[in-house]
Amino acid sequence: MGSTERVVGWRKSSYSGGSQGECLEVADGYADVPVRDSKNPHGPVLVFPAAGWAVFVAAVSSGPGTPFRRP
């Protein structure tokens, strides 16, 4: 996966401020998690293992300085 043409169902976090342009979009429903820059929807896509992405999201959601475990 590297092309946005094959990925459907992109979504942006409801916490995104909107106008600053510092947002990521992710697509659900894939074995791995595709992530792209919302400012460049036809640009490159980064793909992360689902378990690693889940750990990243949990770590970010828990706030700064909170320890977390790698998968």
Tens-binned pLDDT, residue by residue, of the chain (71 aa): 545 557 888 998 777 766 666 788 999 888 899 999 888 888 899 999 999 999 888 888 887 776 666 65
- Residue 70, pLDDT score: 62
In a domain, 70, yes or no: no
- Residue 57, pLDDT score: 86
Q: If DSSP codes are grouped into helix, strand and coil, which group holds residue 69?
A: coil
Domain count, the chain: 1
In a domain, 32, yes or no: yes
Rg of the chain's alpha carbons, rounded to an integer?
Answer: 13
- Residue 62, pLDDT score: 80
Distance from the Cα of residue 43 to its chain's centroid: 14
In a domain, 12, yes or no: yes
Rounded to an integer, what distance in angstroms lies between the CA atom of residue 11 and that of residue 9?
6
- pTM of the prediction? 0.71
- Residue 35, pLDDT score: 93
